[in-house]
Amino acid sequence: MKCTINRRSQFCASHRYWLPELSESENLRLFGKCTRAPGHGHNYVLHAAITSELDAHGMVLNLTEAKAIIQREIIEPLDFSYLNDAWDEFAQTLPTTENIARVIWHRLVPHLPAPLRLTNIELYETPNLWASYPENRQGNGMNAYLTVAAHFSAAHRLALPELSYEQNCEIYGKCARPNGHGHNYRVEVTVKGDVHPRTGMLVDLVALQNVIDHHVIEPFDHTFLNKDVPYFVETVPTAENIVIRICQLLYQPIEDIGATLHKVKLIESPNNSAEVLAEELMDLKISQSRSLAAVI
């Protein structure tokens, strides 16, 4: 039987985004504050997923051995380093979050004994920014995933207008109370694309954050969703419907800045979240449009 283990590691490092072939103004436009010399630092958190059949001892890989491999090949060279100088790969392609994850993957794979498979590298630069480099990526080996988290506070009420208060309470419980209730929502937006061979960027991070702020955070923050957001006047703002709407709002603007929306996750509370894959949602929308066109 196959099983996957996940090994968590940490390292502290600094880096700077600067391309000498570009002017100062061009570097500032691309990288903003990250151009400041001599650089800035992060407490990186690394998750390595390793998959294989269970051995006779009921393990994929002895955790002591897994720790030793990751420590020797990844943590020791990177911990308390200036990443731009740590590995040759970062002289060619800047050590962005997504590129560090990609390089760690390629550095680690040769040192895992067969038949082990590295199935994912996930690297957290901050709690609100992380990159993934999974085994099933497509393209030229530069394809990766980048996730950005943002927050908004809003109130909502779950109720269908055609039903009585008692009927809505049977469906939605306390969430049907007339004056609504609120949440501090966390939205996690995952995009995918190719890591640029020079900048190391999958997408312009400032542009991505601006898209999320403009299309989701500003319209939704400090609102009563049922009353202040036109879409939810007719649609019950459950976590599921909210995350679907966020996905719809972000899909094209993210395409316009050169990336592809992969997934949106909405965390309503520590005990309740919903997520949707953008590709499946858009495929369903296309299918429904075709069906409607056929009927007409």
Each residue's pLDDT tens digit, 199-215: 999 999 999 999 999 99
Under the banding of pLDDT at 50, 70 and 90, the label for residue 289 is very low
Whether 112 and 239 map to the same domain: the answer is no
Quick one: average pLDDT of 275-279? 95
User: Which member of 47, 175, 240, 275 is catalytic?
Assistant: 175
User: Which member of 53, 222, 255, 280 is catalytic?
Assistant: 222
Q: What is the pLDDT of residues 222-275, one digit of tens each?
A: 999 999 999 999 999 999 999 999 999 999 999 999 999 999 999 999 999 999
- CATH number of the CATH domain containing 26: 3.30.479.10
State the residue range of the domain holding 254: 137-296
Number of domains present in the structure of the chain? 2
Q: What is the pLDDT of residues 135-184, one digit of tens each?
A: 865 555 789 999 999 999 999 999 999 999 999 999 999 999 999 999 99
Mean pLDDT taken over the chain: 91
Structure tokens belonging to residue 125: 């630069």
Whether 141 and 244 map to the same domain: the answer is yes
34 an active-site residue?
no
Distances (CA, A) of 196 to 24, 34, 110, 190, 216: 20, 17, 24, 17, 27
Whether 190 and 256 map to the same domain: the answer is yes
pLDDT for residue 284: 66
Whether 178 and 47 map to the same domain: the answer is no
Q: What is the pLDDT of residues 108-137, one digit of tens each?
A: 999 988 888 899 999 999 999 999 999 865
pTM over 0.85, yes/no? yes
65 an active-site residue?
no
Under the banding of pLDDT at 50, 70 and 90, the label for residue 276 is very high
Residue 292: is its pLDDT beyond 60? no
Environment class of residue 185 by beta-carbon count within 10 Å: exposed (0-12), middle (13-18) or buried (19+)?
buried
42 an active-site residue?
no
Residue 4: is its pLDDT beyond 90? no
Separation CA 191–CA 185 (nearest Å): 19
Distances (CA, A) of 129 to 56, 70, 181, 250: 39, 22, 29, 18
Whether 65 and 22 map to the same domain: the answer is yes
Whether 194 and 78 map to the same domain: the answer is no
Q: By the 8 A CB rule, do 90 and 17 touch?
A: no
Residue 287: is its pLDDT beyond 90? no
Residue 197: is its pLDDT beyond 50? yes
Whether 56 and 84 map to the same domain: the answer is yes
